[in-house]
Amino acid sequence: MAVRQKSLRVDVLARVEGDGSMVVKIKEGRVTGVSLGIFEPPRFFEGMLRGRRFDEAPDLTARICGICPVAYQLTASLAMEDACGVGVDGALRELRRLIYCGEWIESHALHVTMLHAPDFLGYESGIHLARDHPEIVARGLKLKKAGNDIVRILGGREIHPVNGRVGGFFRAPSPDELAPLTSTLEAALGAALETVRWVAGFTFPEFEQDTTYVALRHPSEYPMTEGRVVSSRGLDISVAEFENAFVEEQVAHSNALHAHMQDGGHYNVGPLARYNLNADRLGPRAREAAREAGLGPVCTNPFRSIVVRAVELVFACEEALRILRDYRKAPPPCIAVVPREGRGRACTEAPRGLLFHRYDLDRDGTIRDARIVPPTSQNLATIEDDLHGFAQAHLGLPTERLQWQCEQVVRNHDPCISCATHFVRIESDRG
Amino acid sequence: MEAILAWDGEPIALLDRWDHATEVVVVDATAGCGSPGAIRRFDARRRPLPARFFSLSSHAMGLGETIETARALGRLPASLIVYGIEGADFGFGAGLSPEVARSANRVVDRLSTVVPAR
């Protein structure tokens, strides 16, 4: 007898950061509902920031995530500098870009090798992959370590680095202190190129989505720390206009807010978005690696995000080496930042995508209000769209196989659920 | 045993730290596995850590996954003992709950017999 109704349910998603579940409901040959349930508890960071000093925001927000603390720390710093009417340039800006390279390397290396690649090779986990292919996992961990080394040397420690601050750093390293990173990153670049070749050989489900991609765009750089906010459908705005263009709302099945554009459209941020909007800004080695991997100027198959992430690994290694080559002398570690009343905003490209911070300050620099929009919450609606589309197109698969691949649809986006639950809006009805 | 680390990095990075060590003891928090302050000792060379004991992590790979990855890569030290101390409260705030602090001191006393003071 044919099964007319079924649900694919995964109560706890594996190989994602944080706690989430997935439900796909199917009835008489149609997908009738999908939900990515986020039950990681909310952590109220925006509330905690109110009443704190402006220069405390980088350290406080870095605690939102153990994998991308640099992204939060730097975005908070940039937003405060915007509020106070200053800008960091020159060698300090390059050092910020270098530590961001470190975060991209360690985050992407972990996700590609241990969290995502097992899906394509039929392994339950990165541990199972390690048992059969220890050399591949060892390569991925060595890459990750290179990224961690950058963050440790520049940031003071690997997790929740302590050296970043509003205005720059507490201490700028000497060229001699950074010198050991050159050989580390040269080896890492080789490992990153091998990683691209490896993942390019995976078998990818045929699945194209007509997604709106959103990322930063810079006049000359592959975006990390600044740029305008652009989309694949023609949006081109300054960071100051972000809150006019994008809206967050609460949904019943999730402790994380969902985001959409003002016209209601869903959108995607992250490596695919960055690549699709900025492939021409990649460095020469990364561009060549992308070409050899069969990537065109645009990639719209979310399963191929693993290839794009690997290409970004090459870029981050290449970019870090460029910065190290050009770093001749430690600059003064920071510029003076005098607090003033006003509003400051910033966007940077966290490993998982666009991250937005906005702060309102009192005259003495006390934070009156804060808003943080992390990449994963911006992607949650798109992930559900992907689940819906993929499941509908593959209903002929055996249930167990379809469920596995639906989980993979989620992992395509490398969700960071801890980031997404930094906030929830509570409304009480006393009527 | 030569060194004591207060490790605030990712567990997976411990692989590099214990690569040249013969005896390693790790002390970590457990959650949802008994009374606050309960101490459990595991010989991680003999068998994997029970998954439910070390599921707390702000990173994608916690202590249990780290040890199994090390085992798969042949990078476990000759001796790897893990002490788990059941936490009482993982909410906001600083410091250890009294029962957890007492247990932490007991573990420290136990370890001080094998780790030379410096």
Q: Which run of H or of E encompasses A228? A: strand A228-231
Residue A201 near chain B (CB below 8 Å): no
- Model confidence, pTM: 0.91
**Under 8 Å CB-to-CB from A262, ≥6 apart: which residues?**
A244, A245, A246, A247
Element (H, E) at A178: helix A175-178
Model confidence at A425, pLDDT cuts 50, 70, 90, reads very low
- What is the tens place of the pLDDT at every residue in A11-25? 666 666 666 677 888
At a CB cut-off of 8 Å and minimum separation 6, what does B72 contact? Answer: A127, A130, A131, A134, A137
Residue A254 has pLDDT above 60, yes or no: yes
CATH topology (fold) of A45-420? Cytochrome-c3 Hydrogenase; chain B (1.10.645)
Query: Is A15 in Cβ contact with B8 (below 8 Å)?
Result: no
**What does the CA dihedral B33, B34, B38, B41 come to, rounded to 10 degrees?**
-40
> Which pLDDT tens digit goes with each residue over A106-129?
999 999 999 899 999 999 889 999
> What's the rounded mean pLDDT across residues A307-313?
98
pLDDT confidence of residue B94: 81
What mean pLDDT is predicted for residues A69-76? 96
**pLDDT score of B2:** 56
Cα distance from A65 to chain B (closest Cα, Å)? 7
Q: Using the predicted structure, report yes or no on whether residue A59 has a pLDDT greater than 60.
A: yes
pLDDT tens-digit profile of A134-144?
A: 999 999 999 99
The pairing of strands A246-249 and A258-261 is: antiparallel
pLDDT at A407: 87
Evaluate if residue B37 carries a pLDDT over 60: yes
How many A/B residue pairs have CB atoms within 8 Å?
A: 59
A299: enclosing H helix or E strand: none
ipTM given for this complex? 0.85
pLDDT, average across residues A262-288: 96
CA distance B98 to B81: 24
- Least Cα distance to A182 among A7, A328, A323, A343 occurs for A323
CA distance to partner chain B, nearest, from residue A131 (Å): 5
Exposure class string for A105-126: b at 16+ Cβ within 10 A, else e: bbbbbbbbbbbbbbbbeebebb
Return d(Cα A130, Cα B19) in angstroms, integer. 17
Query: What is the average pLDDT value for chain A, to the nearest integer?
Result: 90
Predicted confidence at residue B53, as pLDDT, reads: 66
**Of B8 and B97, more confident:** B97
Q: Cα(A111)–Cα(A158) distance, rounded to whole angstroms?
A: 17
pLDDT, mean of residues A148-176: 94
Q: What is the Cα–Cα distance from A136 to A132, expressed in whole angstroms?
A: 9
Choose, out of B18, B73, B76, B90, the residue to mutate when testing the contact with A (most A CBs < 10 Å).
B73
Instruction: Check CB contact under 8 Å for A126 and B69.
Output: yes
Give the type of residue at A84: C
CATH topology of domain B15-112: Rossmann fold (3.40.50)
**Structure tokens given for A122:** 């039929």
What beta strand segments (E) does A272-413 contain? 342-350, 353-361, 367-373
| A46 half-sphere exposure, CB direction, 13 A CA radius | 20
Hey, where are the domains in chain A? 45-420
A135 neighbors A293 (Cβ within 8 angstroms): no
Residues whose CB falls within 8 Å of the CB of residue A403, separated by 6 or more in sequence, listed in order: A8, A10, A24
Instruction: Give me the residue label for tokens 């949802």.
Output: B32
Hey, is the C-beta of B94 within 8 angstroms of any chain A C-beta? no
For chain B, the domains span: 15-112
Check residue A429 and give its pLDDT. Answer: 25
Residue A137 in contact with partner chain B when CB distance is under 8 A: yes
Phi/psi region, residue A353 (left: phi>0; alpha: psi -120 to 50; beta: rest), is left
The owner of tokens 């007319």 is A4
3 state SS of A366: strand
CB contact under 8 A, B61 and A66: no
* A253, pLDDT greater than 80: no
